[in-house]
Structure 1
Amino acid sequence: MSANDSNESPLIEHLIELRARLVRALMGLGVVLLALLPFSRTLYTHLATPLISQLPAGQSMIATNPAGAFFAPLKLTFFTAVFVAVPWLLYQAWAFVAPGLYARERRLAVPLLGSAMALFYIGCAFAYFLVLPAVFHFLTTFRPEVIAITPDANAYLDFVLAIFFAFGASFELPVAMVILVLLGWVTPQQLREGRGYAVVGIFVLAAVLTPPDVVSQLMLAIPMCVLYELGIHASRWLMPRDQDKTAAP
């Protein structure tokens, strides 16, 4: 066997392994999607509850195009399937990259992945149970009486999915801070010293990601400030001891 053949063989094996992992990931997602399809209407009903509960009695959503009432629940079902299948998808990605990691990298990657997944779910749950009811209550309370709220099914779905993504991604802040510290780009001391700038940046980010109302902006900014403090403590705890002593004042 030539040197070129020996070099190409591991590459081909990695590509075959990657294809197998992708197929398994898609098959798992497909199974979850098929299991959720019969509950498409129920899922959308639950998703619409935070808004419907704030509307006048007897008022509901509309579909501005004939297919809107059909495709909106299907679209929600697909995103719900992805949401539910995230642990399986991450496991397939982890099983592909884990053999190439050092033992310490594997020990750190597992809790980081688990924390990232849990924080994303917590962020979405926080948005659904607390943020959306408060936002819709605020918007419906302060609207002029001459304006009737008749939300479109697809527009509402896009709005809620954007809120879920914004809060889920924002709740990843401690994990991002820990990764930056582990990479050596910043130190816990620098994170503490930059706390004031971080708070200003958090409020600016909250104003960009949330609807133009004070309620949702505060409900995103305040938890992110708490998570920033949590990220400082977590990064200090996970930082290698020799680096921690060097960075300490």
Structure 2
Amino acid sequence: MNAEDREEKETGDFSRVKDKAGGGQGTEARGKEPGEPRQTAEDTGESRRFNQETGEPHQAGKEAEGSRRTGESADGGESAGGGEGEVLTPEEQLSRAEGLAKEYYAHLQRLQAEFDNFRKRTAKEKEETVKYAAERIVTSLLPVLDNFERAVAASRTNRDFDSFAQGVGMIFRQMQAVLVKEGLTEIQAVGETFDPKLHEAVMQVDSEDHPGNTVVEELQKGYYLKDKVLRPTMVKVSR
């Protein structure tokens, strides 16, 4: 027995002896009350989550951990998106639909009224256009009419036929100018081959100066109005 053992025996301190006998576990034993069970890895659940030999988590523990995290993510997603869509009761949905229907119906009525007004206005404008289509040409011919009245009045007091004829010729050329300005042109007929689209044959004659089916004489002038035949020329045609 060495000096240290003798000192422990004399003082009655056996804690160091217990520490030596227990391989260093005496300190842990002093932290426990007598009779208190010792907590092991099985009691804390560590043995169920980790392999005691390798220290790695069990497969079941991995799956449980993954499921727990997935559930937390799903809960978080529901919490984040829960306020985005407004949930309406059937009564609220019906009320909203009725309001939209009334709004659309009122808009449709306004459009229909506007279309009816447009149709009436267009019909009236078309009627006025047809009714007064000759307004411009008649306005252009009014000066010609005035000159004819003056010529007739002058013929009552002045018996000079030559001056009267000269005045009428001037009025005629004035009227021609107005009509030409509106697109009126003569159809050429004499010497042309007969064309039923342009000529109206009222007589056939024998002619040594013209080949057959040729216009030899113009009985009444024909006219174009721009590119439309306004009136065909009345003619005599050679056999």
**TM-score of the pair, normalised by structure 2:** 0.25
* Structure (1 or 2) with the greater helix fraction: 1
